[in-house]
Chains A and B, each alone.
Chain A
Amino acid sequence: MSAPLRAATVAVGQELPPLVKGPVTKDHLKAYAAASGDPNPMHTDEDFARNAGYKGVFAHGMLSMGWLGQFLVQAGGPGAIRRFRTRFVKLTWPGETITCRGRVTAVRDEGGVRVADCEIWTENEEGERKLVGTAVLALS
């Protein structure tokens, strides 16, 4: 079982504790649209999404990035994230169960604080990566 990262013990290659979210529902997308103020009907209106050439509505990229944020707080503690970046590579669809994963790629000191560089991503049940990115966590 992978444990949260600690300054004293963090090591390159260490896995961050995974976080499983979903299965994604259309109600999740409606709730996220309302709370985030994102008016794009692509995520809430089936007809609109089909007319735009998709098989249906799909999740906001920022919903998945929000899950990665939760995953990083779980791994490093509240306030640990210094930088956090993702690319939106593949779409996330209703019905998919998404797992947030990551591992430590470097450990160094930044301004007198031990930090861990991490590669992070979300993936579905088949291991298809949806969001890929990096994060810098300041550890205590």
Chain B
Amino acid sequence: MPSKDMIGRVLSTGSATVSAEHVAAFARALGDENPLYLDPAAARRGPFGTIVAPPTYPIAFMVEALSGGASAFSELGLNFMTLIHGEQEFEYERPIRAGETLTLTGRISDVYEKHGSSGTMDFVVLETEATDAEGKRVFFSRNTLISRRL
């Protein structure tokens, strides 16, 4: 089971370059045909001068950039058969641009449990911060995972 000792621990770090192709594939999977995500020429004429990513793209980018995260993730002690995504929160300083390299740091910000009629539920809160080449924050993600203890 997750332990309170893990609070504050860095879970994983990594960096990756935002690919226009990945952004477009992600937008299409949402059925979101906004030309700012898909069309380089239209995006160049738009408010950001280049392809930008849809608001929830960080969730896919984190999978790419935090490649070492899978093994760290298994150390959380959550029960994967009953794992659910309870809450998700994003904060944005500016849109993510295609072609830029972002550095991510993911840490465990909280661990707690709740007891109910279906047993004990374990909660783990993961916080991930992305910074750009200048070290400025681009986005922040807070992800609450819940699993039922067997």
The verdict on B86 contacting chain A, using a C-beta distance below 8 Å, is: yes
CB-CB under 8 A for A52 and B81, given A65-B88, A82-B92, A86-B88: yes
The verdict on A105 contacting chain B, using a C-beta distance below 8 Å, is: no
Contact A61 B54 (CB under 8 A): no
Q: Using Cβ atoms and an 8 Å threshold, which residues of chain A touch B85?
A: 61-62, 88
Contact B48 A78 (CB under 8 A): yes
Q: Using Cβ atoms and an 8 Å threshold, which residues of chain B touch A34?
A: 25, 29
Q: Taking the nearest CB of chain A, how far is it from the CB of B102, in angstroms?
A: 16
What 1/0 mask marks residues of chain B from 20 to 63 whose CB sits below 8 Å from any chain A CB?
A: 00100110111110101000000000111000101110011001
The verdict on A26 contacting chain B, using a C-beta distance below 8 Å, is: no
- Name which residue of chain B comes closest to A63, CB basis: B30
The verdict on B134 contacting chain A, using a C-beta distance below 8 Å, is: no
Contact A69 B54 (CB under 8 A): yes
The distance in angstroms between the C-alpha atoms of A134 and B28, with both chains bound, is: 24
- B→A interface (CB under 8 Å): 22, 25-26, 28-32, 34, 36, 46-48, 52, 54-56, 59-60, 63-64, 81, 84-92, 94-95, 142
Which A-B residue pairs are the 6 nearest by beta carbons?
A69-B55, A37-B63, A35-B29, A85-B89, A66-B30, A36-B60
